[in-house]
Structure 1
C-alpha cells in the first residue's frame, strides 16, 4: 500500500498540509499526504475568500516561493479587490472572493499532478517515536507508515467540539468527525497543549434574499491577480458581494438567546479570535453601537449559497434565524446551515524552532492552527515553510529561515516562536515593523531567487522575476537621468494642483511629488518614447512608481533593518544557562530558558525581555 519509508509524511490536507506536501514533493522528497477525507482537500471551512489586509501579502509571498495558493486563488476567483488603495503601497492588500468548490477542486488537481506525492485517506491516531526521533505515524486501522519527518497540520480537528446553543458534539468541521489520540500522546512526551475557539456564520439561500435593499460591493474595474506567473489571467467577469447592517431590533433578538449561548453560560472556556468576534460578542463588547456591517458573499459562480460575513455565531439555531430575519434584505431568508463555534486543541508555538520543527521530537513539524493561528493564509505560509524545512532536513542542508525584514511569513513565525500566543493569531500590517519593504508588489523580488536556490521555484519563475526587476530598474534610472521642460510639465502640475516649475527639472523629482502619478506623465514625449522602446507593462509601471515615490522611506527602513539584523549574527550557545545572569530579571531568565532563542535578536523579541536584559546578555557573551 505504501513505500517502505517516506521522506516526509504530512498529516492533514487543509491549506497548511496542502502547501507542505507540495513543497516537499517539488523539492524531490518522497511525500505522503494523509487526510481523513480526500474529497475535502484545501477546503475553505469558513469564508470563501483568500487574501485581505496583510493576508494578501502572505499569499503573494507563498506564490513567490513557488507555492500553489496564489495560482489556485486566481483560477477559482469570482471577484478581485485591492484593499487600502487610498493609502500608501505598504498597505495595499489583494483579496479575492473564491468559488469554494472550484478552489478545492483546483488544489486537488494540482496536487495530483505533483510528482513524488502519494495520498491516503484515514485518520492518523498516533505517532511513532524512537529515542526522541520521529519514525512515522499510525492510523486508526492500526497501519504503521514509516517516515523520516512528519508535518502535523491538524487544523481544528484535534479533539474538536462543535457548539450550537446548548447542543455540542464532536467534530473537526460541520459534517466531519474529530481527530483523537495525537494530543494525548504528545502530552505524554512533554508537550504543553491548550484549547482555542473559532466560529463560522450561517450559510443562506441567495434566492431568499432581497439584494435591492443592500449596498452592492463590486470588484475592481481593472482587476489584478495574485500569482506573478503569466499562466493565470485577471478576471474578465466578476460577481458582486453586498453589504447590509444589523440593527437594535436584531441585537435585541440575539440577546434573547444569551442565556443559552455557550460563550456566556460557561460551556466555551477557550479564547476566540479577537479580530473576528462572533456577533453576540460584538453586541456585548460594543453595546454603544446600534449596528454592525454584514457582508453577503457568494460561495461560487454556479451556486445560490451565500456566506454571511460578520454574523459568526454559536447561538441556538432558532435565535440565529429569528435575528437574521430582522436584517434588511433577509426578511424571507432560508438557511442552508446554521453558524457554529468549534473548540480544538493547539500547542503553544514557543515549543517550536524557527524551522517549525518541535524542540522535543526531532523531525516532527507543526503548521497551521495547531500552532494557534487563524486564517487560511497564515496556515498556508506555515505549511510551505514546514514542507521546505522538512525536505532540507532530509537532504542534510541548512534550514530555510526568513527574517522579519524579508517577509510577512518571517514576522508571523518569529512572533509565534518568540512571543507565543494565547488567542488565535492573525496577521496585520501593523505587526510588521518593515512593512514598507514587505509590500505585496515586490514579494517576487524578495523571495523568488531564494526559493529557486532551494530547488522549489522553477527556472521560468526566476527568469520572469529578473525580467521584471531589470525593466523596473531601467525605468527608475530613466526618471533619474531625464529632465522635463516647464512648458511640458506645468500644464500637468496645474491640473494636479501641484506647484509649477520655473526651469528644467528631473523627472524623478516630479514623479516623487505625492499628487503626481506616473499615469499623468505617459504622454510626455520622453516618457512615451521610452515606453515605446522598452517592455513596460502595468507591473513594471507600478514597481517603478513606488520606487521613485517612496525611495527615501525605503532607504531609511533598509538602514534600520540592517542595524537590527546585526544581532541575528550574535548566536547564543545551545543549552545556555540563563540562571548565571543574576543581573537579568527573573522573568527574562525564565522565559529565555523556556524558549531557547538561537540569536540575541530573537531573544530581544521575547515577551517580557527588556533592553536592559539584552545588554546583560551581550556583556556576558563578550559583546
Structure 2
C-alpha cells in the first residue's frame, strides 16, 4: 500500500496530541496528526474547565514554553476565577469554565492553518517497527505512513470499555470506537500493559434546575487570562452554582451499590483517588452527612450542565433517583448519563525522561496512555513529546526539565521513576519547591527554553525581556525610595493594620509586611511610574517572599549537589 513520509507522526488528537503536533510543526518538522474523528479534536469528555491547583500552573507552563492550551482556553472562557487567594502565591491557581464546543472548534482551526502540519481522519491499527526502531504506522484503511518518530496519545481508547450499572460495551469514550488493533499490537511488541478506570458525571438540562436553592459562585470581577500574551477579561454571562447531597441521596446510592461495577467487582482496575465517584465517597466516608456538587455550564449554545462532584457508574434509573433528592435538582432531567470507562495504559517506567520508550527507538508516549488523568497533565506531556521527537530526528539533545524548574518536570519524574498504580493527578503537594513554581512566574522560568526551541517568536521574546527588565528596575527603585515616619505615612500604616514607623525605611522593606500591598503604597510614592499589572504583581511577590524564595533556592542547590555526588 502507498506510503506517506513525515518527520513526526502523532496518533490521537486529544489535548496531548494537539500540543505534540503543534510543537513539532512549529519547530519546522513535517508532521502528521491522525485522529479517528476530526470533529472531536481536543474534546473535553469530562469537566468543561481548565486549571485549578497544580493544573492551572501547568497550563501556564505550557503557554510559557510556546504551547497552545492557554491561548485556546482564553478564546473559549465563559467564567474564570483565581483560586486559593487567601493562601500564599504558591497556591494561587487560575480555573476557567470553558465553552467546550468552542474550545474544540478553535483548536481544529489552529491545527488546520498550522504550517508543516497535516490533519487526517484515520484509525491506526499497527506500528511499523524494525530492529527495535519505529518506522511508521498502518491505518485501518491499509494506508501506511512512514516516520522515524511516532507519538502515541491514545487517551482512554486502548481497549476502552464503558460501564453504566450492569450495562457495558466497547468504546474509547461515549459515542466513539475503542482502539482494539493498536492495543493488541502494543502487547505483541512486549510492553507491560496495565488497566485503569475513571468516571464522568451525568449532564442535566439547565431549564430543569432551581438555582434559587443553591449558592452562586460568580466569575471574577477583575480581568484574568491564562496566556501571558493575552490581556485579561471580565466574564459576567455565567455563574457556577453549588448544592449538596443529603442522607436521602446517600441511601439511594447504598441501596444500589450492588449494581455499581466499581463496587461489585466487575471492574478490578484502580480508580482515581483524588476525583472519586460519588458512590465511593459515600462508602469511604459514611460519617459525612453531605458532599458538595457544583453545577458548571458547558457553553453558550447548550443547555447542558455538568455536575462536578457527582462522578458515577450507577445504573441510569438510580442516577435519576439520586439526583432528584438533591436541593434544586428535584425536577432535573438527565441529558447524558454518567459512566465509568476502563482502558489500557503503558506503565510509564518503560519511558525515558524524554517520553521516548526504552524498548523502541523513536516511539514516544504522552497523556492518559501513560497512566495520568486530566487535560492539563496530558497536554504538557504532549508538548514535551513533540519537542523531543523533533530533537531526536535532528540528532539534538532532548528537553529534560528539573523538578525545581516546572510542574511539568515533577509529573514526568514521578511517572518515569515511580510508575503508577492509579490514575496520576498532578497536585501542588507533589512539588517540593512549589514557591519557585508559582503560576505567576511560569514565563520567567520557561520562556527562554521555548525561545531557543523556536516555539516563542522574536516579538514575544522581546516583550518577555522588557517585562523582566521592568521587574528588576522597579525592585531596585523601591529599595532606594526612603519613607520617613511622617504623620501621613503612619496614618496609612495604621489604616492597613500594621505597625507605624519609628524611623525611616525603604519602600521595599515596607512591602515585606503581610498587610501592605504594592498598590496601597501609591499615595506615599509620588514618583512611581504606571506599570502593567503583571509587572507590579511580580515585583510585590519577589520582594514580599524574598526570604522564603532564597531558602528554597538554597535547598535546590544542596539537593543538586547531593544528586551529583559520586
- Length-normalised TM-score, structure 1: 0.89
- Length-normalised TM-score, structure 2: 0.98
Structure 1 residue 528 corresponds to structure 2 residue 523: no
Query: In the alignment, which residue of structure 1 is the partner of 2:550?
Result: 555
Query: In the alignment, which residue of structure 2 is the partner of 1:594?
Result: none
Would you say the 8 A contact 1:229–1:464 is kept in 2? no
Deviations 1:495-546 (A, max 9, x none): 122111112111111110111111210121xx332224xxx11111100000
Query: In the alignment, which residue of structure 2 is the partner of 1:579?
Result: none
Deviations 1:274-330 (A, max 9, x none): 000000000000010010000000001222110000001001000000000110011
> What is the CA–CA distance in structure 1 between the aligned matches of 2:526 and 2:426, rounded to whole Å?
41
Q: 1:3: Cα distance to partner?
A: 7.3
Query: In the alignment, which residue of structure 2 is the partner of 1:273?
Result: 272
Q: 1:218: Cα distance to partner?
A: 0.6
Query: In the alignment, which residue of structure 2 is the partner of 1:315?
Result: 314
> What is the CA–CA distance in structure 1 between the aligned matches of 2:248 and 2:549, rounded to whole Å?
50
Q: 1:58–1:2: structure 2 CA closer, same or farther, 3 Å change rule?
A: farther
Query: In the alignment, which residue of structure 1 is the partner of 2:130?
Result: 130
Deviations 1:162-192 (A, max 9, x none): 0000000000111111011222222222210
Matches within 5 A, 1:210-609: 210-230=210-230, 233-487=232-486, 488-524=488-524, 527-532=525-530, 536-567=531-562, 570=564
Deviations 1:4-53 (A, max 9, x none): 41010000000000000000000000000000000000000100000001
> What is the CA–CA distance in structure 1 between the aligned matches of 2:499 and 2:527, rounded to whole Å?
26
Deviations 1:75-123 (A, max 9, x none): 1000111100000000001110000100111111111121000011111
> What is the CA–CA distance in structure 2 between the aligned matches of 1:106 and 1:274, rounded to whole Å?
32
* Helix, strand or coil at the partner of 1:414: helix
Matches within 5 A, 1:45-56: 45-56=45-56
Would you say the 8 A contact 2:80–2:97 is kept in 1? yes
**Which 4+ stretches in 1 moved above 6 angstroms?**
none
Query: In the alignment, which residue of structure 2 is the partner of 1:598?
Result: none
Query: In the alignment, which residue of structure 2 is the partner of 1:39?
Result: 39
Q: 1:223: Cα distance to partner?
A: 3.2
Would you say the 8 A contact 2:160–2:178 is kept in 1? yes
Would you say the 8 A contact 1:358–1:364 is kept in 2? yes
Q: 1:2: Cα distance to partner?
A: 8.4
* Helix, strand or coil at the partner of 1:548: helix
Q: 1:215: Cα distance to partner?
A: 0.6
Q: 1:336: Cα distance to partner?
A: 0.6
Would you say the 8 A contact 1:241–1:297 is kept in 2? yes
For structure 1, the 5+ residue unaligned runs are 571-617
* Helix, strand or coil at the partner of 1:486: coil
* Helix, strand or coil at the partner of 2:149: strand
> What is the CA–CA distance in structure 1 between the aligned matches of 2:77 and 2:2, rounded to whole Å?
36
Query: In the alignment, which residue of structure 1 is the partner of 2:156?
Result: 156
RMSD: 1.3
Q: 1:259–1:546: structure 2 CA closer, same or farther, 3 Å change rule?
A: same
> What is the CA–CA distance in structure 2 between the aligned matches of 1:271 and 1:332, rounded to whole Å?
34
> What is the CA–CA distance in structure 2 between the aligned matches of 1:4 and 1:350, rounded to whole Å?
32
Q: 1:237: Cα distance to partner?
A: 3.1
Would you say the 8 A contact 1:77–1:235 is kept in 2? no
For structure 2, the 5+ residue unaligned runs are none
Matches within 5 A, 1:175-186: 175-186=175-186
Query: In the alignment, which residue of structure 2 is the partner of 1:614?
Result: none
Query: In the alignment, which residue of structure 2 is the partner of 1:66?
Result: 66
Q: 1:450–1:2: structure 2 CA closer, same or farther, 3 Å change rule?
A: farther
Query: In the alignment, which residue of structure 1 is the partner of 2:147?
Result: 147
